[in-house]
């Protein structure tokens, strides 16, 4: 499943020699130039299933393109948004894998490392970001303070009043802890661990059913098959 404006932009870009702005695709939809299964749709964010639902623009069929999935071990110092100045994970994507509809699933903070999946399939993105999914983050830190594990499992309330869902916390060796979360609030893991241990490096090891051995995944993204 993918947004209609993203599907239209991907088709328009593939049909031309340059990237078509998302705004242009949205304008065509709002003007009533696009139909889904014969019905005109004017909402750019309308969810469609290319290949199952028939999409047309000005009467011309919009074929379903193949989805692309790329897996990266994100290095520190990169943000997970496209940016004209700051170093971005999209700068690390090789030219032959770049697509305007390729998006990172679940952003990581600038200095957080680990597994980062890129996908063009909005359905996969939504599934991985759904609360029923989970992410496993691992942090190198000092010894945990007493009561930290129980506080995580009960669902912590952060300093700003945010009530978090129950999470998992376990020690892995003498200087590493593993955090399992089902949500992704701003700097959640760091705020979870603040005052409970002194962290030095945070890394994502698993997201949904996607897992990575960080010793075997490069910061250069590669195509992977959906599982």
Nearest alpha-carbon partner for 117 in 210, 214, 217, 7: 210
> Which residues touch 36 (CB under 8 Å, ≥6 apart)?
4, 46, 48, 53, 54, 55
Q: Based on the residue annotation, tell me whether 101 is a catalytic residue of this protein.
A: no
The catalytically annotated residue of 109, 111, 140, 213 is: 109
Q: What is the DSSP letter of 95?
A: G
| H helix or E strand, kind and range, residue 213 | none
CA–CA distance, 88 with 117 (Å, rounded to integer):
14
Burial 158-170 (b: 16+ CB within 10 A, else e): eeeeeebeebebe
Q: Which residues have C-beta within 8 Å of that of residue 160, sequence separation ≥ 6?
A: none
Helix, strand, coil in percent for the chain, rounding step 5? 20, 30, 50
- State the catalytic residues: 109
């Amino acid at each position: 499943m993918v947004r209609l404006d993203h599907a239209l932009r991907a088709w328009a870009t593939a049909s031309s020699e340059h990237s078509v702005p998302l705004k242009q695709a949205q304008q065509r939809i709002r003007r009533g130039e696009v139909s889904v299964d014969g019905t005109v749709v004017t909402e750019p964010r309308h969810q469609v299933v290319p290949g199952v639902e028939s999409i047309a623009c000005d009467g011309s069929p919009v074929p379903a393109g193949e989805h692309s999935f790329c897996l990266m071990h994100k290095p520190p110092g990169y943000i997970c948004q496209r940016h004209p100045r700051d170093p971005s994970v999209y700068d690390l994507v090789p030219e032959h894998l770049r697509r305007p509809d390729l998006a990172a699933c679940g952003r990581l903070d600038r200095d957080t490392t680990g597994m980062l999946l890129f996908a063009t399939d909005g359905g996969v993105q939504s599934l991985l970001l759904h609360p029923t999914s989970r992410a496993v983050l691992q942090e190198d830190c000092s010894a945990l303070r007493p009561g930290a594990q129980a506080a995580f499992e009960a669902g912590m309330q952060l300093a700003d009043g945010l009530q978090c869902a129950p999470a998992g916390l376990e020690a892995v060796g003498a200087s590493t802890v593993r955090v399992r979360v089902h949500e992704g609030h701003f700097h959640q893991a760091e705020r979870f661990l603040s005052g409970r241990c002194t962290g030095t490096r945070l890394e994502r090891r698993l997201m949904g059913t996607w897992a990575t051995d960080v010793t075997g995944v490069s910061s250069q993204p590669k195509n992977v098959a959906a599982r």
